[in-house]
Amino acid sequence: MFRNTLFLNNTCRYWSTRTLFNTSRVFKLNNKVRFYSTKISQNNNKNQYQNNNNNDKSSFRDEAKRLFKLLKPEYRWISFAVFCLILQSTSSMFVPKLTGDLLDLSNKYILKKESNEESENTLNYTDSGRMKFELWGLSETQFFSVVGSVLVVGCLSNALRLIILRTTGERIIARLRTRLLNRIFEQDSKFWDKNKTGDILSRLNSDCVVVSRSLTNNISDGARSLFQGSVGIFMMLTISTELAGSIILFLTPAVVISRFLGKRAKTISKKVQEKIGEILKINEYQLNNQNLIRNYSAERVELVRYSDSIRNFYKASLKDVMNSALAQSTNQILGTTSLVACLLIGTNMVQQGHLTAGELSSFAMYAIYSASAFAGLFNFYNEINKGIGSYSRVIEIYDKKPSISPYKGTKDIHKVIEEYNMNNKDNSVPIVEFQDVKFSYPSRKEVTIFNHLDFKINKGENICIVGSSGKGKSSLLNLLFRSYDIENGTIKVYDEDIKNFSLRKYRRHVGVVPQEPPLISGTILENITYALTDSRNKKRRFTEQEIAVAVEKANCTDFIKSFPEGLNTKVSNKSGLSVGQKQRLALARQFLNNPDILFLDESTSALDGVSENIVVSNIQKRSSVEGKTTISIAHRKSTIKFASRIIVLGDDGKVAETGSYDELIAKKDSKLNDLLAHNMQNL
């Protein structure tokens, strides 16, 4: 069972947890930008562990508030971007006024040509006899210099705004992802029993992108729309209150419709993201199980499964598109109708002399600006709702309180070990003790795995746990690692209840080698020293000599030497090494790390006789010479007989018998004899 745990979970648990602690320090990009620290997260989120159902009930305002909190570290940059945007919008908003005034000026020239006398009083002439250009009290050169400068400032502000928003958006994504990933690392096995990697990937990737987009580009577009719309309406009101009033009247129904469609966008967007998650879930399974699919000729089945999920995604996206299209066309129809109405009323007013032609054209341009600003505001509302939808998926994980917190325990493991060593001079205090343990998996409560389970393991013992398949051998490791909590009883390590330890620190003291150890993508050396680096300066804690000794103890030297690049050979989880070689590398890592307690979960099952003998005798030496404890699960007689003591698990969730190999073999009716005769490999 244990070997079937998800890779992400595997990697976190198996390879000690040193690298995970790094996440609780500071995430930096280019050593400058701080993305995350546990402290910030913990302080900011005192009430973070809320019931997820609350999310559904919370109002738009609460959800938006929480979403906008993400902007807190970026408010300076966002304010600067908004300032740039105001500069840019101001420069563009002054174009309609400019156009109208230029139009009226040219009208005056036309009038002058038609009636020389009247114009002579209002227009001056240059020395060359041309009519003098004078607008807003500026000469021609002054006027065009001012206009040119304003437009250049507008362009530069726009470029600056784009750069700021892009970089801010990337920082928000990075911060969101690292915080979320850290929270994912905090989750316990119960979480991994329920959640699939594909869905989590979609939350880490596309949901975070949607959230960031809704907060950066969207906020900027929304602010621009708000600014443009306000200035547009103000200018329209200045030009003609009557005309402006009629336009606002036309636009009122559009506001109501947009609000309704915006709310729908939130639900639809959440659905779309869920469907993306489902696709990724299937993809993840299919890409990780290529061999299985090929061997079972399941390509067709998998294609159908994939296309079904794509179809579901397509249906959800279609709803999204329809919603957006409906909103856009409604806006367009109402916008165009109000513009036509404005022109009709406006032309009438020009004919009656209440408005000049230039004023009407300025008004029409401001109306178009305001209409597009209104569409922009709708889009802003839509995108914010999408952002809220995606953020609620991110928060769903972020708010999840692990039932076993990795930080909760208060006992300092180092002090506990010190005390244990002081009190254990005569080796009478067990290093591992299960007292009256009752346990069933949370996802299958009705099946009791252990009931009144009692056993003790002393320091320096080399214990072998045996039992028929499904009796709970790997589950013992789950409990020792505190991946799950027990229902009754106590598990003590170093004579202290493991519930009192801070889990991350505690787990560093228990090494584990699973039956199919996962490899990280990197060199053989990186795999052996994975997470065994000094987290501060990233330097390896071990010398080359120490690494060579560990490699030798796990009988890896020959096969590593047979690769042209030796320790620097690149390997990955999917290719590059046989199961036996992977097991030996994982064993080498543990020989190097040399934890006080080492748990081997059928980790020599794929080794040949020679390798197995070498490994087993080195494990024996670990116990007899160094006084380190080893607990192995094994099915092979060749491994079992080297153990200093054997614990046999019975059918009733208890220990059936315990004793040395010779003692148990000598008893004719022993459970071990029974197992060896029927179940186990008599190799």
Where on the chain is the footprint of ligand ATP (CB under 6 A)?
Answer: 1-2, 193, 441, 443-444, 449, 467, 469-475
Are residues 303 and 328 in contact, defined by beta-carbon separation less than 8 angstroms? Answer: no
Cα angle, residue 492 at apex, residues 594 and 415 outer, rounded to 5°: 65
Which residue number, 202 or 475, has a Cβ lying nearer to ligand ATP? 475
Displacement of CA 21 from its chain's centroid (Å) = 17
Smallest distance from ligand ATP to CB 412, Å: 31
How far, in Å, CA of 601 to CA of 632, rounded? 6
Are residues 448 and 199 in contact, defined by beta-carbon separation less than 8 angstroms? Answer: no
Residue 631 three-state SS: strand
Token pair listed for 54: 């609350």
Smallest distance from ligand ATP to CB 581, Å: 21
Which residue number, 43 or 469, has a Cβ lying nearer to ligand ATP? 469
625: β partners: none
Smallest distance from ligand ATP to CB 466, Å: 9
Residue 195 three-state SS: coil
Which residue number, 241 or 443, has a Cβ lying nearer to ligand ATP? 443
- In 143-245 the beta strands, taken as DSSP E runs, fall at none
Which residue number, 327 or 586, has a Cβ lying nearer to ligand ATP? 586
Smallest distance from ligand ATP to CB 2, Å: 6
Angle of helix 357-398 relative to helix 217-239, nearest 10 degrees?
150
Token pair listed for 527: 């795999």
Which residue number, 30 or 469, has a Cβ lying nearer to ligand ATP? 469
Which residue number, 262 or 653, has a Cβ lying nearer to ligand ATP? 653
How far, in Å, CA of 19 to CA of 24, rounded? 10
Q: Amino acid identity, residue 243? A: L
Smallest distance from ligand ATP to CB 188, Å: 11
Smallest distance from ligand ATP to CB 578, Å: 20
Smallest distance from ligand ATP to CB 677, Å: 17
Are residues 437 and 599 in contact, defined by beta-carbon separation less than 8 angstroms? Answer: no
Secondary structure (DSSP) of 457-525: E-TT-EEEEE-STTSSHHHHHHHHTTSS--SEEEEEETTEEGGGB-HHHHHTTEEEE-SS----SEEHH
How far, in Å, CA of 395 to CA of 397, rounded? 5
User: The tokens 């009190």 sit on which residue?
Assistant: 423
Smallest distance from ligand ATP to CB 477, Å: 8
Smallest distance from ligand ATP to CB 543, Å: 37
Token pair listed for 432: 């591992």
Which residue number, 104 or 485, has a Cβ lying nearer to ligand ATP? 485
Smallest distance from ligand ATP to CB 454, Å: 18
Which residue number, 3 or 112, has a Cβ lying nearer to ligand ATP? 3
Which residue number, 97 or 635, has a Cβ lying nearer to ligand ATP? 635
> Could you give the maximum distance between any two Cα atoms of the chain, in Å?
133
**Backbone dihedral region of 534: left (phi > 0), alpha (psi from -120 to 50 degrees) or beta?**
beta
Secondary structure (DSSP) of 78-116: HHHHHHHHHHHHHHHHHHHHHHHHHHHHHHHHHHHHH-H
Are residues 244 and 232 in contact, defined by beta-carbon separation less than 8 angstroms? Answer: no
Which residue number, 473 or 553, has a Cβ lying nearer to ligand ATP? 473
DSSP state of 570: E
Which residue number, 101 or 487, has a Cβ lying nearer to ligand ATP? 487
Smallest distance from ligand ATP to CB 592, Å: 26
Residue nearest to ligand ATP (CB): 1
Smallest distance from ligand ATP to CB 658, Å: 16
Angle of helix 579-593 relative to helix 609-624, nearest 10 degrees?
20
Token pair listed for 649: 């698990």
513: β partners: 600
Which residue number, 389 or 472, has a Cβ lying nearer to ligand ATP? 472
